[in-house]
Structure 1
Amino acid sequence: MEEEAAPETSLAEKRRKKDIGGGGLLLGRFDVGRLLGAGSFAKVYVARDVRTDELVAIKALDKEKIVKGGFAAHIEREIAILRRVRHPYIVQLFEVMATKTKIYFVMEYVRGGELFGRVAKGRLLEDTARRYFQQLISAVSFCHARGVFHRDLKPENLLLDDNGDLKVSDFGLSAVAEQMHVDGLLHTFCGTPAYVAPEVLARRGYDGAKVDVWSCGVILFVLMAGYLPFHDRSIVAMYRKIYKGSFRCPRWFSQDLTHLLHRLLDVNPQSRATIPEIMENPWFRKGFRHIRFYIEDNQMHSFNDSDSEDEQLKSNEPKPDETYESGSESDSSVASCPASFYDESYQHHPSLRPPSLTAFDIISFSSGFDLSGLFDEKGEMTRFLSKEPVPVIVSKLEDIAKAVSFKVRKKGSQISLEGARESEKGPLTIGVDVYELTPSMVVVEVKKKAGDGEEYEEFCNKVLKPGLQDIVYESSHIARNTE
C-alpha cells in the first residue's frame, strides 16, 4: 500500500510558497523545488519546467524591496547585461517574467555547484586548473568585447555544469562601458576584498577590464595553490599586501606559470597583462581550444575546433518537434499561397515553403520600406523583396557562403551563415529569414545574430549585396505595382 504524501506544513515550505507567489505551478509552468541561495532582495530556487521536463533556476526578486531600496535601475542593467553576454561559459538567462509583487529570472540550472567547493578540498592538478582558467578567460574576453565588466570574479561565482565545464554567474555588480565617467574609468568601489585590484582600493578610477584580469589572476593562484595570494587575518594588512602586490608563488609552480601570475597580478594596470596577451602565453595555450557557438531558437549550440566536419554538419540537420522564433505558420496570414506559385522544387523540399506574414507583420514592415533603394537597412538588419522562388534564393546564399568559406545551416526557410574567422566577439553569424508577402513576392530579411557589427556591415556591402543584386526586385517595380 502506498504511503500518503505528508501535508505541506513545514515552515520552510510555507516560506517557499510565499516567496514564489503562492502554491501550485509558478506562472502555470514551473514546479518550484528547493532553495539554492538567498540575497538581500532575491532568492534562487531550482524548478522544473512542466512543458519540457527540464530543470531551471528561478531567481525571485521582491518588487517592493527593489523599489524601496532604489535598485530598479540596477536590476534593469543586470537583465540587459545577461542578454548581451550569451556564451557557453556564462550562465544563460532564458526569460524574465513578472507579477504584481515579483520579478522572476528564469535561468540555466548548473548542477555542479561552485568551483569554490572543489578548491576548498585542496589545490587542483595543473591541467585541471589550466582548463578552468582557459574557460574563464574565454568568457571574460567575450564580456569585455561587448563592453561588460564583471567586477566580482571569484570561485564562488564560478559554477560547474554536468560536463565539468565552467559557468560564470552573478553579474549583479557588473558594469557596462556606458557607465564610465568622462575620464574613461569606472569609480564605484565594489568587489570581494581578497580579489579586488589595487587601483580599486586607491579610489581614483579604474579600467573595468584590468580589474577583471587582476581577479582572474587571484583565481588562478587559488586554483593552483589552494590558498589566497594576499591572505591575512587582518583585512587592513591584506589590503596593504594587495596594494604592494606582495605575494610569493609556491615551489611547485612552474616557471611559465609564475611568470604569467606576475603579469596578471601586476599592481600597475598599464603594464598588467591584457586578455590577448594572456591568450598568447605559453602556459595558457597548452591544450587550449577555441569554443565556437551559435544561438538558434533561444538555444545555444557549441562546438570546438577539434570537432570533425561530419559532427558539425550533423548539427545542421532538422530535429523533430523543433520550433523557430520567426518560422511559425500563422493562422491569420494576409495571403494564402496557391500551389501554382511553388515550382516542383517545393514538392521535393516542402520545408522550404516560407511562412506567411500576418497583418501585424505587414504593418511593422511597411514603415521600414524605403522605395528609393534596393535594400532597406535598420542597423544590423537588412530587408529586400524578391520574386524568385525560395530554392533559388537559398542556392544564391549557399554560393555566396561557399565563396567566402562560410558554413551554412538550413532549417526550412531559415538560413544561417557562419563565418570561420575568430574575433573578440566570436565568429560572424548571419540569419536569413524568408517570408511570403504575396503569392508572387517574398521578403528576405537578413540580420546579424552574432559577431562584430563592423564585420557584418562590411560583409553586407562587399559580399551580400553584390551577390544578391540580380534576385532583388527593383523598387521602381514596387512603386508601379502600388499605383
Structure 2
Amino acid sequence: MLPRCLRSWQAKLRSTLFSSLLMGAKNGRLKEDEARRYFQQLINAVDYCHSRGVYHRDLKPENLLLDSYGVLKISDFGLSTFEQQVREDGLLHTACGTPNYVAPEVLNNKGYDGTSADIWSCGVILFVLMAGYLPFDEPSIIALYKKICKAEFSCPGWLSSGAKKMIQHILDPNPVTRITIPEILENEWFKEGYKPAQFKVEEDVNLDDVDAVFGNSKEKLVTERKEKPVSMNAFELISSSKSFNLENLFEKQMGLVKRETRFTSQRPANEIMNKIEEAAKPLGFNVHKRDYKMKLQGDKHGRKGHLSVATEVFEMAPSVHMVELRKTGGDTLEFHKFYKTFSSGLQDIVWKSEETTEESRA
C-alpha cells in the first residue's frame, strides 16, 4: 500500500473532499467507530510524513481527501517544511497554519517542534469528527489564541471515556508532555480495529547493490582488498560536487528529503574506514567491510525497521578521498539523527577547506 499522501493533481481530481463527508453526516459528526477509523488512517499518513522528515503544518478536514475506496489522503503541502530546515535549536520558527487548528507553541513565536505541532492538529481534527464542532472557536482572534494557549475546551458528553482521554492527551498545551505518535499507536482506544499501514518505500540505492556485496557467507565478512579505492573520473567528480550536482539541485527545488551525504578527507583510505567503524560501533551498529565499501547495520529496531547505512570511499586525487554515505534501510528521520551524532566522531578526518573554516569562525 502506498503512503496516503498525494503525489499528483490527478489523484486529487479522483478524490472527494473529506469535509463534504462531515457536511453530509447527521449533526455534522461521525459515529465514534467511523471517526476512529479515519483518525487511524490520518495518524498513519502523518507518521509516514514525519518518518521522511516532512511536517505538514496545516492539517485540517479541508486538506483531507477520500478516494473511491474510502481511503484517507493528505493534500495541500503548501505550508509544509522539512527536517533540514530547523534552526540550531532544533525548532521551527515560522508561524503558519489555520488558526483553529494551530498548536499553542506555534502561536508563542518561540520555536516549535513540527512533529508535536502536527499531532495537535490531528487532535483538533479528531474532536471535530466526533463532536461536529471545533474545540476552539471564538469571534475574535485574541480570544481564540488565549483559549488555544490554555487548551480551554470540554468534550461533549456523548464521547466515550477512551475517546475523551485520547483527545485530552493530544490537546495538551505543553508540547513536551503531549502524547507522541508511538504512544498513540499503543493507546487502547486507538488500537480497537486498527490495521497497521504497510508502506512501500522505494529506495534509490547505489553502491553496486549493497546486499550483493555484503552477503552472509564467511568469505565476504570484514575483508578489504589491499589495492587503492575506486578512482573517480572528471565527470563523476564534477557531478558529485555540491556546486555542480544537478541531482542535488533538483532535490532542493522539489523539496525532497536527502537519504545520503558526502564528505572529503585527506587521510589514507584505511584510516578513514577504521575511523568510520570506531564512530559507528558505540552507536549500536554492526560493521561489515569489503573493497572499501562498508555496511553499517543498526541493532535497534526503529520506526521503519533496522537502520542501515552503506558507505564507500572513492579516490579523487592521490591524497584526497571522498566518502559517500547512503541510507539503505530504516527511517529517514532516524538517519538524520544518527548522522548528526556519527559525524561528530569523524571531525578529525573531515577535510575542511579554507572557506568552510572561515564560515565556522564567523
For the pair 1:254 / 2:157, whether they are aligned, the reply is: no
- The residue number in structure 1 matching 2:288 is none
In 1, Cα distance between equivalents of 2:235 and 2:69: 43
Percent identity over the alignment is 52
Q: 2:203 touches 2:328 (CA, 8 Å); kept in 1?
A: no
- The residue number in structure 2 matching 1:127 is 33
Query: Could you tell me which amino acid in structure 2 is paired with residue 195 of structure 1?
Result: Y
Query: Could you tell me which amino acid in structure 2 is paired with residue 117 of structure 1?
Result: S
In 2, Cα distance between equivalents of 1:193 and 1:367: 47
For the pair 1:115 / 2:18, whether they are aligned, the reply is: yes
For the pair 1:211 / 2:122, whether they are aligned, the reply is: no
In 1, Cα distance between equivalents of 2:184 and 2:79: 24
In 1, Cα distance between equivalents of 2:114 and 2:192: 27
In 2, Cα distance between equivalents of 1:180 and 1:88: 24
- The residue number in structure 2 matching 1:88 is 3
Q: 1:158 to 1:428 in 2, by over 3 A?
A: farther
Query: Could you tell me which amino acid in structure 2 is paired with residue 206 of structure 1?
Result: Y
In 1, Cα distance between equivalents of 2:120 and 2:53: 17
Q: TM-score, normalised by structure 2?
A: 0.57
Q: 1:294 touches 1:429 (CA, 8 Å); kept in 2?
A: no
In 2, Cα distance between equivalents of 1:141 and 1:293: 11
For 1:54-73, what aligned pairs fall within 5 Å after superposition?
none
SS in 2 for 1:293: coil
Query: Could you tell me which amino acid in structure 1 is paired with residue 193 of structure 2?
Result: G
Structure 1 spans left out of the alignment, 5+ residues: 1-85, 94-105, 299-361, 369-377, 381-420, 431-446, 456-483
**Superposition deviation, residue 182 in structure 1:** 1.8
Q: TM-score, normalised by structure 1?
A: 0.43
- The residue number in structure 2 matching 1:452 is 331
What is the RMSD computed on CA atoms of the aligned residues? 3.4
Query: Could you tell me which amino acid in structure 1 is paired with residue 7 of structure 2?
Result: Q
Q: 2:19 touches 2:61 (CA, 8 Å); kept in 1?
A: yes
In 1, Cα distance between equivalents of 2:68 and 2:301: 27
Q: Which of 129, 151, 157 pairs up with 1:245?
A: 151
For 1:77-226, what aligned pairs fall within 5 Å after superposition?
87-93=2-8, 107-121=10-24, 122-226=28-132
Of structures 1 and 2, the one scoring higher in RCO (CA 8 A, sep 6+) is 2
Q: Structure 1 segments of 4 or more deviating over 4 A? A: 295-298, 362-368, 426-430, 447-450
Query: Could you tell me which amino acid in structure 2 is paired with residue 222 of structure 1?
Result: V
In 2, Cα distance between equivalents of 1:295 and 1:379: 16
Query: Could you tell me which amino acid in structure 2 is paired with residue 178 of structure 1?
Result: Q
- The residue number in structure 1 matching 2:253 is none
**Superposition deviation, residue 117 in structure 1:** 1.3
Q: 2:260 touches 2:327 (CA, 8 Å); kept in 1?
A: no
Q: 1:164 to 1:110 in 2, by over 3 A?
A: farther
In 1, Cα distance between equivalents of 2:202 and 2:117: 33
Q: 1:252 to 1:184 in 2, by over 3 A?
A: same
SS in 1 for 2:16: coil
**Superposition deviation, residue 233 in structure 1:** 2.4
**Superposition deviation, residue 145 in structure 1:** 1.8
Q: Which of 175, 183, 186 pairs up with 1:280?
A: 186
**Superposition deviation, residue 234 in structure 1:** 2.5
Query: Could you tell me which amino acid in structure 1 is paired with residue 3 of structure 2?
Result: P
For 1:312-461, what aligned pairs fall within 5 Å after superposition?
423-425=302-304, 451-452=330-331
| Cα deviation 1:406-438 (Å, max 9, x = unaligned) | xxxxxxxxxxxxxxx9842468899xxxxxxxx
**Superposition deviation, residue 177 in structure 1:** 1.6
SS in 2 for 1:240: helix
- Higher alpha-carbon Rg: 1
Query: Could you tell me which amino acid in structure 1 is paired with residue 130 of structure 2?
Result: M
SS in 2 for 1:257: helix
| Cα deviation 1:19-67 (Å, max 9, x = unaligned) | xxxxxxxxxxxxxxxxxxxxxxxxxxxxxxxxxxxxxxxxxxxxxxxxx
Higher strand share: 1
Query: Could you tell me which amino acid in structure 2 is paired with residue 120 of structure 1?
Result: M
- The residue number in structure 2 matching 1:96 is none
Query: Could you tell me which amino acid in structure 2 is paired with residue 190 of structure 1?
Result: C
In 2, Cα distance between equivalents of 1:158 and 1:206: 23
- The number of equivalent residue pairs is 232
**Superposition deviation, residue 139 in structure 1:** 1.1
Q: 1:230 touches 1:241 (CA, 8 Å); kept in 2?
A: yes
**Superposition deviation, residue 290 in structure 1:** 1.2
In 2, Cα distance between equivalents of 1:120 and 1:422: 42
**Superposition deviation, residue 296 in structure 1:** 6.7
Q: 1:142 touches 1:426 (CA, 8 Å); kept in 2?
A: no
Structure 2 spans left out of the alignment, 5+ residues: 205-232, 240-258, 262-299, 310-325, 336-362
- The residue number in structure 1 matching 2:227 is none
Q: 1:124 to 1:449 in 2, by over 3 A?
A: farther
Higher helix share: 2
